[in-house]
Chains A and B, each alone.
Chain A
Amino acid sequence: MPMPAMAGWIARRVLLAALLVVGASSAALMLTRLAPGDISGQLGPFAKADEVAALRARFDLDRPAPMQWALWAGRAARFDFGTSFLYNRPVGEMVGQAAVNTAILATAALFLATVVGLSLGVLTGYGGGAVPAVIRAASLLLVSLPPLLMSLLLVFVAARTGWFPAGGMSSASAVDLAWGDWLADVLRHLPLPTLALALPLAATLERLQSQAIAEVLRQPFLVAAAARGVGAERALWRHAWPASLRPICAVYGMMIGALLSGSFVVEYITAWPGLGRLMYEALRARDIYLVAGCAATGAVFLAIGTLLGDVLLAALDPRVREGLEA
């Protein structure tokens, strides 16, 4: 694709992403506002009326919903996303830190899921026998396991065996560690949430890759390549595999976005201080500005993920590039 066309396409996607962020955060704010119950429930069932009124006023809940949205949007335009009631801290700061933590986890999980899922997918799609059958069965099992169960199962395994820490992002003694040791400590805590996130994702990728490669192997261009004397291994890796990646790229962007916007179940169970867990706690407490901040960040990540997926797809599939040029 010529550079100007690509730049225009990216600019349009960024504009759409901005609209997505505004829409998602505004919708989150309004839905939290309109749902039964509000933040004053956190004061307990028997809070005094003046305490409840003061809290509602502090969070603009004493104003009509559109007015509250306008006030929030005005402040957000100046990068003031309000204060969290739960944490009594600025939302921007809370969300920023949680987003970094989620990005660390998501990157590790995505890397693991991609390497394992795609390589096993090629294996099961290309060959037959007992090993691929076992992998297929394991994938089906992992895809079917709810994230809650998977997370609890892994925490249980960690608790019983001590192979890796049973949760959290760092050890209790991390406060005394030097930077390098702290990093090593964080890496030691990564396997549990990473596996909880990556295993179902790897299984999904394995299934997609397996079906895609099996389908591509039946294509005439590979029969022709074989007739021209191209070896089986070269045909697989140089011709079949790149062609099989198209359907995977189509869903890969969504996967990246979903991972980056936080998996609240995994983060909650494994006590990983990420965006998903923050969003869940904010929703439970009706911490309205924190909900909106988390939704906005999640939407940003989703937009980045889908953009990356689309760029990958365009790079791999000439038909997509031609469509964009047109």
Chain B
Amino acid sequence: MVLLLVGGFRLWRSSGTSGKRSATESVQRGGELIGSLRVEPRTFNRIVSRDQGTDLLNTLLQGRLVRINRATFELEPWLAESWESTPDGLTHTLHLKPGVRWSDGQPFTSADVLFSLQTAEREKASVLASALVSGGKPVDVSAPDPNTVVLVFAAPSGPGLRVLDQIPMLPRHKLQTAVAAGEFGAAWNTKTPPADVVGTGPFVLREYQPGQRVVLDRNPHYWRTAPDGAALPYLDRIVLEIVPDQNAELLRLQSGATDLTQDALRPEDYVSMRRLQERGVVKLVELGVAEADALWFCLKPEVKGKDPRFAFVQRKEFRQAISHAVDREAFAQTVFLGEAVPVWGPVPPGNRQWFSPNLPRYPFDVTRAKALLKEIGLEDRNGNGIVEDAAGTEARFSLITQRGLGWSERGTTVLREAVAAVGIAFDVAPLEYGAMIERMLACNYDAIFMRPLTTDMDPAGNLDFWLSSGSAHYWNLQQATPATDWERQLDALTSEQAATLDQERRHAIFNDAQRLLAENLPAIHFAAPRTYGAHSARLVGVVPGVQRPPILWNADSLSVSGPRQRP
């Protein structure tokens, strides 16, 4: 009985994915992990570029003051081991972990923090400046002593210190000359000698061969230790092979040439990967439910106001009718091959902190869809199967999407069939990515189907989407003043939640914002894919996260055991 209880307890402990190693996983120090990169890094300086390759390398090479755990979404102490905040939430005093050194052996102090934050705020080339703005003013930073940093926000900020997760710490002794010379934008470019790229991350840059690979070695001065006191990272080396083609990337994983893929798998790859998992060659890990797809119309009155169709496109009943016309369960089955969940808003269930399950829903109901269209004067008056308004304007639209994406092209096919049943015609035009974006930015389209990715799980980190003035408010970008009353309300709710310190109150306000969006449906969401990553069976300590990088975000705690397996 006692044995059963102990066994049961162990099983319970090992079933969690909270970052603890399972009972069967053993840590082996040393070894090399080979991953893949599908895009080249443009620079080693994350402050001046947000491209995927640079961002991944930044995770491996640089430390931050605090870290958002990609599995739990909780804020964790990192280079700042503790902090205190004043009750008004404006002043935060951070205490740095003592004894931390840069990878070249120089001490890490508050002067480096000051340098990093001020550079991110003030440098013209910085792409992170907006993260350090509060109440329209830059966050004030000071360093009263070598181990303390004080941040003063001009206005209350809901995310508070979470914004620091984005800002890498940079070595003042290496980069202050470039900043003083006004050359920070070009500093740490891909031609910089690897030894000059100094960091507090778990790895250091050994070599970058464009088109071939990036080699990273263990940082001998890394400051983190495992719970048992062992020095981290466990791995001696990470090699990131540059493999632009996803098919070739998967074949390399299957052959045992690499240990993990860069991103989530495509739905069409799940079956073959599951077979390999059954044979013990790879392991599939569920990363979570990612961002939902979206269908939206250009709702910019300045551009579309003279289009006779705008009279009904701008009515929420029209968009609600489309939402009713689509069977989301069937959509998830067909488009994402069953690996998706139906959704009713832009925040997917994978974002456990901010997802609201109580949004208005539009169940599959063709009769209701037709009734909604009739309410706004759209009927099939000439019997050609397409509804028209009283002036004879047909509800016929071009629908653009990205060419070459399996789910995207399947999605537009399903949508075309679904809306045809209620009398709306979509002429589908898959476009090359750049062309699609150009048309989107110029509002030179009727409707778009794509999966916009968010940069932050916290809504205060995605103000560009929620605010009508935002550059990601995609149905009507960067409005000077809100075009509709509901967008005015949405702006107010968004600003309020971003400036609220009480997290419960923030959640309540954000739920209202989500509800408002779901009622007005400027973008219609159908399904959010359940995403999986794959890694070799020899990789130990994987704690998957839904955001990029899904596995390597936790690189200092990964280890490898045994040789690579060949199928």
A, B in one complex: yes
Could you list which residues of chain A lie within 8 angstroms of chain B, going by C-beta atoms?
A: 35-38, 41-42, 44-49, 51-52, 85-89, 94, 97-98, 101, 152, 155-156, 158-160, 162, 165-170, 172-173, 175, 268-271, 273, 277-278, 281, 284-286
For A168, what are the chain B residues with a Cβ–Cβ distance below 8 Å?
A: 212-213, 241, 243
> Is B440 an interface position by the 8 A CB rule?
yes
User: Which residue on chain B has the smallest CB distance to residue A273?
Assistant: B211
CA distance in complex: A97, B212 (Å): 12
User: Which residue on chain B has the smallest CB distance to residue A268?
Assistant: B245
CA distance in complex: A168, B34 (Å): 13
User: Which residue on chain A has the smallest CB distance to residue B43?
Assistant: A88
> Is B5 an interface position by the 8 A CB rule?
no
CA distance in complex: A107, B471 (Å): 50
CB neighbors of A among B30-78 (8 A): 32, 34, 40, 42-43, 50-51
For B247, what are the chain A residues with a Cβ–Cβ distance below 8 Å?
A: 152, 269
Which interface residue of B42, B190, B210, B241 has the most chain A CB atoms within 10 A?
B210
> Is B251 an interface position by the 8 A CB rule?
yes
CB neighbors of A among B231-260 (8 A): 239, 241-245, 247-248, 251-252, 254-255, 257
For A44, what are the chain B residues with a Cβ–Cβ distance below 8 Å?
A: 50, 437
> Is B99 an interface position by the 8 A CB rule?
no
Task: Give the top 10 A-B pairs by smallest Cβ distance, nearest first.
Answer: A37-B434, A273-B211, A159-B255, A46-B472, A36-B435, A41-B434, A172-B239, A37-B435, A41-B437, A159-B251
For B210, what are the chain A residues with a Cβ–Cβ distance below 8 Å?
A: 87, 89, 94, 97, 273
From residue B50, how far is it (CB to closest CB) to chain A in Å?
A: 8
> Is B452 an interface position by the 8 A CB rule?
yes
For B142, what are the chain A residues with a Cβ–Cβ distance below 8 Å?
A: none
What would be 15 A-B contacts, judged by CB atoms less than 8 Å apart?
A37-B433, A37-B434, A44-B50, A46-B477, A87-B40, A87-B210, A88-B42, A88-B43, A89-B189, A89-B191, A101-B211, A159-B255, A167-B252, A168-B243, A269-B247
The answer to whether B452 touches A286, judged by C-beta atoms less than 8 angstroms apart, is: no
Which interface residue of B127, B434, B452, B478 has the most chain A CB atoms within 10 A?
B434
> Is B488 an interface position by the 8 A CB rule?
no
For A89, what are the chain B residues with a Cβ–Cβ distance below 8 Å?
A: 189-191, 210
Task: Summarize B's interface: helix, strand, loop or mixed.
Answer: mixed
Can you add 20 more A-B contacts, CB < 8 Å, to A44-B50, A165-B257, A284-B433?
A35-B435, A37-B432, A37-B434, A37-B435, A37-B438, A42-B51, A42-B434, A46-B472, A86-B40, A89-B210, A152-B248, A155-B248, A166-B257, A167-B248, A168-B213, A168-B243, A173-B32, A175-B206, A273-B211, A281-B244
> Is B179 an interface position by the 8 A CB rule?
no
CA distance in complex: A175, B452 (Å): 38
Interface membership of chain B positions 190-204, coded 1 if the CB is closer than 8 angstroms to chain A and 0 otherwise: 110000000000000
For A285, what are the chain B residues with a Cβ–Cβ distance below 8 Å?
A: 434
> Is B464 an interface position by the 8 A CB rule?
yes
Given contacts A49-B478, A159-B254, A172-B239, contact A268 B434 (CB under 8 A): no
CA distance in complex: A127, B293 (Å): 62
The answer to whether B242 touches A155, judged by C-beta atoms less than 8 angstroms apart, is: no
For B239, what are the chain A residues with a Cβ–Cβ distance below 8 Å?
A: 172
For A38, what are the chain B residues with a Cβ–Cβ distance below 8 Å?
A: 434, 438
> Is B154 an interface position by the 8 A CB rule?
no
CA distance in complex: A323, B387 (Å): 71
The answer to whether B248 touches A270, judged by C-beta atoms less than 8 angstroms apart, is: yes
CB neighbors of A among B410-463 (8 A): 431-441, 450, 452
> Is B383 an interface position by the 8 A CB rule?
no
Chain B contact residues (Cβ within 8 angstroms of A): what range?
35 or more
Given contacts A38-B434, A97-B210, A166-B257, contact A88 B248 (CB under 8 A): no
Q: Which of B40, B42, B43, B439 contacts A36 (CB 8 A)?
A: B439
The answer to whether A172 touches B191, judged by C-beta atoms less than 8 angstroms apart, is: no
CA distance in complex: A166, B566 (Å): 12
The answer to whether A41 touches B433, judged by C-beta atoms less than 8 angstroms apart, is: yes
The answer to whether B248 touches A269, judged by C-beta atoms less than 8 angstroms apart, is: yes
CA distance in complex: A69, B143 (Å): 51
For A159, what are the chain B residues with a Cβ–Cβ distance below 8 Å?
A: 251-252, 254-255, 257, 567
For A98, what are the chain B residues with a Cβ–Cβ distance below 8 Å?
A: 211
> Is B102 an interface position by the 8 A CB rule?
no
User: Which residue on chain B has the smallest CB distance to residue A97?
Assistant: B210
For A101, what are the chain B residues with a Cβ–Cβ distance below 8 Å?
A: 211
The answer to whether B243 touches A271, judged by C-beta atoms less than 8 angstroms apart, is: yes
The answer to whether B432 touches A166, judged by C-beta atoms less than 8 angstroms apart, is: no
> Is B207 an interface position by the 8 A CB rule?
yes
CA distance in complex: A286, B252 (Å): 28
The answer to whether A46 touches B43, judged by C-beta atoms less than 8 angstroms apart, is: no
The answer to whether B42 touches A87, judged by C-beta atoms less than 8 angstroms apart, is: yes
> Is B284 an interface position by the 8 A CB rule?
no
From residue B247, how far is it (CB to closest CB) to chain A in Å?
A: 6
CA distance in complex: A173, B247 (Å): 23
From residue B294, how far is it (CB to closest CB) to chain A in Å?
A: 11
> Is B297 an interface position by the 8 A CB rule?
no
CA distance in complex: A160, B252 (Å): 10
Q: Which of A46, A167, A173 contacts B471 (CB 8 A)?
A: A46
For B318, what are the chain A residues with a Cβ–Cβ distance below 8 Å?
A: none
The answer to whether B190 touches A88, judged by C-beta atoms less than 8 angstroms apart, is: yes
Q: Which of B32, B190, B438 contacts A41 (CB 8 A)?
A: B438
For B42, what are the chain A residues with a Cβ–Cβ distance below 8 Å?
A: 85-88
The answer to whether A45 touches B452, judged by C-beta atoms less than 8 angstroms apart, is: yes
Interface membership of chain B positions 242-281, coded 1 if the CB is closer than 8 angstroms to chain A and 0 otherwise: 1111011001101101000000000000000000000000
The answer to whether A273 touches B452, judged by C-beta atoms less than 8 angstroms apart, is: no
For B257, what are the chain A residues with a Cβ–Cβ distance below 8 Å?
A: 159, 165-167
From residue A275, how far is it (CB to closest CB) to chain B in Å?
A: 10
CA distance in complex: A218, B434 (Å): 57
From residue B293, how far is it (CB to closest CB) to chain A in Å?
A: 14
User: Which residue on chain A has the smallest CB distance to residue B39?
Assistant: A86
From residue A90, how far is it (CB to closest CB) to chain B in Å?
A: 9
Q: Which of B213, B215, B244, B567 contacts A160 (CB 8 A)?
A: B567
For B189, what are the chain A residues with a Cβ–Cβ distance below 8 Å?
A: 88-89
> Is B474 an interface position by the 8 A CB rule?
yes
CA distance in complex: A303, B209 (Å): 29
CA distance in complex: A98, B242 (Å): 14
For B471, what are the chain A residues with a Cβ–Cβ distance below 8 Å?
A: 46-49
From residue B403, how far is it (CB to closest CB) to chain A in Å?
A: 11
Q: Which of A46, A85, A94, A173 contacts B464 (CB 8 A)?
A: A46
CA distance in complex: A49, B472 (Å): 11
CA distance in complex: A152, B254 (Å): 13
From residue A154, how far is it (CB to closest CB) to chain B in Å?
A: 10
The answer to whether A271 touches B248, judged by C-beta atoms less than 8 angstroms apart, is: yes
Given contacts A89-B210, A156-B251, A167-B243, contact A172 B34 (CB under 8 A): yes
